[in-house]
Structure 1
C-alpha cells in the first residue's frame, strides 16, 4: 500500500436541504434526500438546530418504526422520549440514544424545554435481514459517560468505536459503528478508520481540509457540507486554519436489498405490506 492510499479521500460532497418532520420540526436533511438517498448502511441523517421554539416545540409525536435503528445525538438542549411499552428517558446535551426498533416500536420524542437552543442529529441505521425482527431496545447514554480523547490538535468525543484503546459507550451493533464528535482547533489531526467501511464527515461549524497525507492534496469542506469518504484507506487526516466541529461516522455496509415505506425499512415489498398491516391492526409491537 502506498503512502497516499493509506488515507481516506473525499468521493462526493453534498449540502443538506431544508425540510420539516414530526409535527413541523425544522431541520436539514443530509442523507435521505435526492442527492444522497442512502449510504449503506445509513438511511437518513438530519441536523436540527434552532433557538426559535416555534421551529421545534411540537417535537415528534408518537410514530412507528420497524427494521432499523435510530440514533439521536444532542449538541444542545434536551429531548424526552417515551414508547408504547412504557420506556421513558431524557437525552441531554452531549448525550446519545441508540435505539433498536427491530420488529416494531411506537415512540415519541419531545423537546423538554420551552425556550432556548435545541441542536442535534438524528441518524437512521439499517439492520441486516437476520436482525430486522429482533427485540427492540434502547441504549440511553448520558453525556458524562461519553469519553473524550485528545489526538494531535483535536478533542474527540467517542460515542461509538475505539480511539487509542478508548472505547465508546454504544454497545456493538451489527454494523460495528464508529460515531465521533470532533472539535479541531487551528491545526490538524489523524483519526484511524476501518478500511472497507462506509464513512462520512458532516461539518456543523467552521471549515476543514481533508488531506491524503500531504498539504497539496487538500479538499475543503464548509459548514453544512457532508463528504462521503473512500472505502480504501485506514486513516483520515484533516486540518483547519480557523477551527471546526464535525461528526465522523462509519460502519460496515450490509449489501442487502432495501425496501422502505416511511418508517418501515425491510428487504422485500411483502415485508413492508406486513409491517403496514401490523401497524394498522395494532400488532406492530407484539
Structure 2
C-alpha cells in the first residue's frame, strides 16, 4: 500500500464572477494552478444576499464540464437546450458544455445562506466538440455512508469503496472517471480511502483542519485551501480535536495542452479563437455540419 502525501497547497483567493457573486477560488486562480483534469474549484458562501443575489446570468461555455454542488440555498439552472434544474441544499448538477452551451444559474432566494461549490473538469480533445448535456441530481439521489467514527461520506460522482462497501454515486460515465466525495468527520478521527493509483487527487477542507498522509509524513491543510496529493493507491486523513468537512476528488489526467480564454477551454489558440468567433456569430450552440 502506498499512501499519498500532501504535495502542493493552493490557498484560495477572494474574487467574484457572474453578475458579481463573491466567492473563493483555489484551483484555476491562474492557468498554472490546476490538477489535471481539474481546471477550477470555486467555493461560494455567504449569509448576505448582496454577495450572491445577482447570480450567474446567461453565459457560454465550450470544451469542458462542470459540477455544481450545493450545501445550502436554492439556485435555478436554465440552458439553451431547454433544461431547467432546481439546485437545492444537498443537490448537484453535472453539465457537459462540449461543443457549446449557454446557461444561467440564478438564486431563488432573497435572504439566508447560499453555500456551495463549482468544479470545472477538462474534456479530452476528442470530446471537446461533442453535444452538450445536463444532469440534475436531487439530494435524495446521493448515497450517504455512515462511518464507524460518527462521520459520513456522500458520493456525488464516481464509485468509491468506503469501509468495505463499494458504492456508486448518481453521476457516472465521465470520461475522466471523476470521483467526487463530500466527507464529514468528528474531531480526533481517521479516514482511509483506496483510490485509483493512475488518477490525480486533491482535497479541499471547507470546515476545520486536516492532517494528510501517513503517520510518518503528515502535513496540515487549513480550510479554504486545495491540497494536491502525490501518487499512491490510498489516501489517509486525520482530524485534530475539532470536526472537519472536506471535498475529496480524484480523476484521470488527460495530459494534453490547455488553452483557456474565460469560458472556453480548448487545446490550441486557434480553437479558442474559433470558439470566440462562433459565439459572436451565434454559432456556438449550432449543430456541427455533417460531411
TM-score (norm 1): 0.95
Q: Is 1:155 paired with 2:156?
A: no
Deviation at 1:35, TM superposition (A): 8.7
Distance (Å, rounded) in 2 between the aligned partners of 1:90 and 1:109: 10
Instruction: List per-residue Cα deviations over 1:88-137 (Å, max 9, x = no partner).
Output: 11111111111000000100000111100000000100000111011111
Distance (Å, rounded) in 2 between the aligned partners of 1:260 and 1:37: 13
Distance (Å, rounded) in 1 between the aligned partners of 2:146 and 2:235: 15
Query: Which runs of 5 or more residues in structure 1 are unaligned?
Result: none
User: For the Cα contact (< 8 Å) 2:70–2:87, is it kept in 1?
Assistant: yes
User: For the Cα contact (< 8 Å) 2:5–2:217, is it kept in 1?
Assistant: no
Deviation at 1:178, TM superposition (A): 0.4
Residue 178 (structure 1) aligns with: 179
SS in 2 for 1:75: strand
Provide the aligned length of Structure 1 versus Structure 2.
279
Distance (Å, rounded) in 1 between the aligned partners of 2:148 and 2:196: 19
Residue 60 (structure 2) aligns with: 64
What is the aligned-residue RMSD (CA, Å)? 1.3
Distance (Å, rounded) in 1 between the aligned partners of 2:242 and 2:110: 34
Distance (Å, rounded) in 1 between the aligned partners of 2:63 and 2:235: 31
User: For the Cα contact (< 8 Å) 1:30–1:36, is it kept in 2?
Assistant: no
Instruction: List per-residue Cα deviations over 1:119-169 (Å, max 9, x = no partner).
Output: 000010000011101111111100100001134423100011222211111
Distance (Å, rounded) in 2 between the aligned partners of 1:139 and 1:242: 35
Instruction: List per-residue Cα deviations over 1:41-74 (Å, max 9, x = no partner).
Output: 1111100000100000000000000000011000
Distance 1:131 1:33, change over 3 A: same
Q: Is 1:100 paired with 2:93?
A: no
Distance (Å, rounded) in 2 between the aligned partners of 1:40 and 1:217: 24
Deviation at 1:198, TM superposition (A): 1.1
Distance (Å, rounded) in 2 between the aligned partners of 1:138 and 1:85: 9
SS in 1 for 2:257: coil
> 2:207 aligned to 197, 205, 208, which one?
205
Deviation at 1:239, TM superposition (A): 1.3
SS in 1 for 2:26: strand
Distance (Å, rounded) in 1 between the aligned partners of 2:245 and 2:28: 22
Structure 1 stretch 12-21 or stretch 234-243: which is displaced more? 234-243
User: For the Cα contact (< 8 Å) 1:49–1:117, is it kept in 2?
Assistant: yes
SS in 1 for 2:270: helix
Residue 167 (structure 1) aligns with: 168
TM-score (norm 2): 0.93
Distance (Å, rounded) in 1 between the aligned partners of 2:68 and 2:156: 11
Distance (Å, rounded) in 2 between the aligned partners of 1:35 and 1:152: 40
SS in 2 for 1:61: strand
Q: Is 1:116 paired with 2:118?
A: no
Residue 143 (structure 1) aligns with: 139
Q: What does 1:254-269 correspond to in 2, within 5 Å?
A: 254-269=254-269
Q: What does 1:8-19 correspond to in 2, within 5 Å?
A: 8-19=4-15
